[in-house]
């Protein structure tokens, strides 16, 4: 019986020792799992932190790009507006220049018409004066001709009177 007790005790001791070993093994496995879990959690936290940092860096870069794009758009809009103002100013200047040219051309045309009218008037006056002068010369020539005719008629009449008187004298003397 003692042997049985001894065997039982030995078996119990071995069983206890095996249980203790099992417990230690489970404890170590539990600690390893906890360490592994902690390591995984740390990796996840590191990964999340890096992801967050990368996202924040992305947002910073996006803000910078947005600001650059916004500045570029504002600059381009301003340049377009300035270009449009320059075009509008140039268009107005061209319109004014065209208007001035039209006015100058109209004025030139009026002056030309006035000069032509004056020239026509002078020509008409010169023609009238020439015609009046010619008529005057013709009248003078006609007057001289008539005077010469009257003088000739007077001379002939005087000669006829003289002949008549001579004849009368001759008749009287007979």
C-alpha–C-alpha distance, residues 29 and 18, integer Å: 16
pLDDT digits (tens, 9 = 90+) for 82-118: 999 999 999 999 999 999 999 999 999 999 999 999 9
Q: What does the pLDDT read at residue 74?
A: 96
Residue at token pair 């009026």 = 110
Q: What does the pLDDT read at residue 174?
A: 63
Domain residue spans of the chain: 1-172
pLDDT digits (tens, 9 = 90+) for 46-88: 999 999 999 999 999 999 999 999 999 999 999 999 999 999 9
Quote the percentage of the chain above a pLDDT of 90: 63
């Amino acid at each position: 019986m003692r042997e049985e007790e001894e065997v039982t005790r030995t078996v119990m001791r071995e069983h206890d020792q095996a249980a203790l070993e099992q417990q230690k093994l489970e404890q170590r496995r539990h600690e390893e799992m906890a360490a592994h879990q902690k390591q995984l959690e740390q990796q996840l936290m590191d990964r999340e932190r890096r992801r967050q940092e990368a996202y924040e860096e992305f947002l910073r870069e996006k803000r910078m790009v947005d600001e650059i794009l916004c500045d570029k758009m504002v600059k381009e809009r301003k340049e377009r507006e300035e270009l449009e103002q320059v075009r509008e100013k140039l268009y107005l200047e061209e319109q004014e220049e065209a208007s001035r040219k039209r006015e100058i051309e109209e004025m030139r045309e009026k002056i030309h018409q006035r000069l032509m009218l004056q020239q026509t008037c002078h020509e008409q006056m010169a023609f009238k004066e020439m015609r009046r002068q010619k008529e005057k010369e013709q009248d003078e020539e006609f007057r001289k001709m008539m005077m010469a005719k009257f003088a000739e008629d007077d001379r002939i009449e005087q000669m006829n009177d003289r002949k008549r008187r001579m004849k009368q004298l001759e008749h009287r003397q007979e």
